[in-house]
Amino acid sequence: MKLIRRTFLVGGAALVGGGVFGVWYGDSAAMARAKQLTSKAGDSSFAGWVKIANDDTVTVYSPHIDFGQGSQTALAQMLADELDADWSKVRVEQAPADYAFGNTALAKLFVPTMSGHPDLMKHMPDAVFSLLARNVPLQITGGSSAIRATGQLCLRVVGAAARQALTATAAEKLGVPENELTCAASRVTHAKSGRSLRYGELAEAASVRALPAEPVLKTRNQFTYIGKPVDRFDIPAKVNGTAQYGIDVSLPDMRVATVIAAPVRGGKLLSVDHAPAMAVKGVEKVIALDNAVVVVASGYWPALKGARALAPKFSDGGNGHYTSAGIYAEQGKLIDQAKPDAKYAKGDAAGVLGNAGAHKIAAEYRVPYLHHATMEPLSMTAHHTDGTLEVWGGMQDPLQTRLLLAKFSGVPLDKVTLHTTLIGGGFGRRFPPYTQIVEQIARVAMQVDHPVKIIWSREEDVKQGAYRPQSLGRLQAALGSDGRIAAWQTDYAQFADAESETVFTYVVPATARRHFKYAANQVDAFWRSVNSTQHGFYNESFIDELAHQAGADPYAFRRKHLPAGGRHLAVLDSVAKRAGWGSALPAGTGRGIALVECFGSICAHVVEASVGADGTPVVHKVFAVVDCGTTVNPKNAEAQVQGGILMGLSSALGEAITLTGGAVDQNSFTDYPVLKLAAAPAIDVHFIESDAPIGGLGEPGLPPAAPALANALFAATGKRIRQLPIGRQLA
């Protein structure tokens, strides 16, 4: 993810320039700070991430926010398993938005990859990663990183280390050798004498021991909770209505505000007459910002009515010429100039393609801007009083959010408190640098003498999104006389270089991928599975076209381009078998297949689809097989893959943000249609347990959906889909 890469580069440079002194926290200071923030009398803290109370209650602190992905429960499972805790006494809480909870595990996961030195973690001391995480700072939820980073590299280690400390303490108290003790259900037992001690009795003395940096972790056959479908902690409160999202925050004497921003991104506020809004009952104030107008009122409806009464005048910032069609045209011209911003190559793809003649195949694919379409529009609450700023809301990086709140309000960082709430959908929308409401709430709170909550209208949320980039991809390949792919080249134009998220899964002698940087006036940001959505659609659509050109079955064609005995082949074979690949289907129904690796996991889909009488696609069934190494919570893992499939299908079928005159055309769910329950297909999900490192699951289920659907529709109709959304292209 570009934001993470840039953050590390900047933060790393700052650390190098300033040395390792004078930074926010080293390990010991951070642990002391964490204990101060989370523990009370009777609690004992271990590495800051877990505390054990006298009554044996184990509380795990998750640096990852909850927007429905279920990772907090899985993280608790991972720690509790290594700790040998009594699951009935395990709890999980959101870690405070404080530097003491900078996520070292994310530094360990992302720095080696993004530095270009994948073995870096083996050679760099943990203290350096800790300094990076706490001083960049880093508390991100994204990149399918919770389980494969925080769970695997942090909480399992802390759990195992704490168990060793508890065991050593018990050995001293009981006067027996450590190797005669066993741990289970939050108790250390000496079988020979029949004596045992509860964790709560041992925790205080154990917590002052130095924890081993590399404790021995359990193997798969020793797991108690990992791999089990335990119930999620967050579900009861979400069902009974007690869960608090950002939009639910209510404070005494609170005011509510809403926003109208420049319709053309990059435009500035030229003028606005406050009088029409002030004439609305309940409206108390109109605040002019650089590129927006904020109406503050006694409640949301008067604020919205007041905002709609205004007629602000905005400039277009010189961006009024942008249209969706024009962007595709400019991206095509950029590729024509053949001056890429980045190129990644193996072998001489250009040479092979140049001599391929009639054996060269080419195709152009297009994908639009995509909105996140979260159920909860952006909202934040703040109260500025006595030189402090207290804020409530959910963001995907609370530490960066605090930094920005301090910057925009002018309040010193140590006087800014952020209370992290649940989020009603995130998918990448709530990274603070791309979330304008952070600046808005900071500036508005400084001008209102009450607690104030900003709620964006649904229309504002759609029109002012941080979108997945509009992207154009041109792919070329040459087929050899043996029916195999001899060379493959992808040229694509969009804002971000997708190299760090893109895995090319097939064995091809010569490959090249060239990125052409293009920027319009929109905020190009992260969307679920980031750039794997574009490249998953490009690659898996194109390889189907190559299979057709070679006169081969799409499944069989993929098979012969995958290493024998590898994970990719196992996933592909499994999904084909579960879907009954090659068996008869009803007339007019086709099957499509797709295989994508991203975020450390491999996922393959088979989609069965047809075209309805009105020309719109109908998805009947989806079969998915995933290898994520180890599945921590199978029930939740299945839900994550199902959610990814539905979001992938929804975006493929009808979602698109389009521009006219530099402004977004869409307003709400009426013209930004998301998949409805009645149109959801039957979904079969299967996991392959392997010895591979744990991979992510929040995102890998999405990328294969669009190409598998497009390939199924080709099988049903003989017509290729090269531009999304599909809409009524087949009518």
- With respect to residue 62, please indicate whether it lies within any of the assigned structural domains: yes
Name the DSSP class of 469: P
- With respect to residue 701, please indicate whether it lies within any of the assigned structural domains: yes
- With respect to residue 723, please indicate whether it lies within any of the assigned structural domains: no
The 3 state secondary structure assigned to 652-699 is HHCCCECEECCEECCCCCCCCCCCCHHHCCEEEEEECCCCCCCCCCCC
**Same structural domain, 130 and 259:** no
Q: Calculate the CA 291 to chain-centre distance.
A: 28
- Give the end of a domain, one of 425, 455, 485: 455
pLDDT for residue 122: 66
**Same structural domain, 570 and 537:** yes
pLDDT tens by residue, 470-486: 999 999 999 999 999 99
**Same structural domain, 535 and 575:** yes
Residue 13: band (very low, low, confident or very high) from pLDDT cuts 50, 70, 90? very low
Residue 11: band (very low, low, confident or very high) from pLDDT cuts 50, 70, 90? very low
**Same structural domain, 157 and 271:** no
- With respect to residue 94, please indicate whether it lies within any of the assigned structural domains: yes
**Same structural domain, 191 and 263:** no
- Give the end of a domain, one of 435, 455, 475: 455
Nearest to 264 by CA among 310, 323, 319, 311: 319
**Same structural domain, 391 and 514:** no
Residue 1 has pLDDT above 60, yes or no: no
Q: What gap in Å lies between CA 89 and CA 226, rounded to an integer?
A: 16
pLDDT for residue 14: 40
**Same structural domain, 187 and 335:** no
pLDDT tens by residue, 424-446: 999 999 999 999 999 999 999 99
Mean pLDDT, rounded, for 628-645: 98
Residue 143, burial from CB neighbour count under 10 angstroms (0-12, 13-18, 19+):
buried
Report how many domains make up the chain. 3
Strands 485-494 and 510-517: parallel
For 98-115, the DSSP string reads SGGG--HHHHHHHHHHHH
- With respect to residue 634, please indicate whether it lies within any of the assigned structural domains: yes
**Same structural domain, 446 and 507:** no
**Same structural domain, 151 and 199:** yes
pLDDT tens by residue, 248-265: 999 999 999 999 999 999
**Residue 140 is part of which domain span?**
2-230
Contact 33, 99 (CB under 8 A): yes
Least confident stretch, 96-105, 156-165, 234-243, 327-336: 96-105
**Same structural domain, 344 and 423:** no
- With respect to residue 460, please indicate whether it lies within any of the assigned structural domains: no
Q: What is the CATH number of the domain that holds 472?
A: 3.30.365.10
**Same structural domain, 311 and 329:** no
Mean pLDDT, rounded, for 436-461: 98
Contact 655, 661 (CB under 8 A): no
- Give the end of a domain, one of 185, 206, 230: 230
Residue 16 has pLDDT above 50, yes or no: no
Name the DSSP class of 565: T
Mean pLDDT, rounded, for 38-56: 96
Percentage of the chain lying above the pLDDT 70 cut = 95
Q: Which residue has the tokens 């409401």?
A: 437
- With respect to residue 724, please indicate whether it lies within any of the assigned structural domains: no
- With respect to residue 731, please indicate whether it lies within any of the assigned structural domains: no
Q: Which residue has the tokens 């893959």?
A: 641
**Same structural domain, 424 and 400:** yes
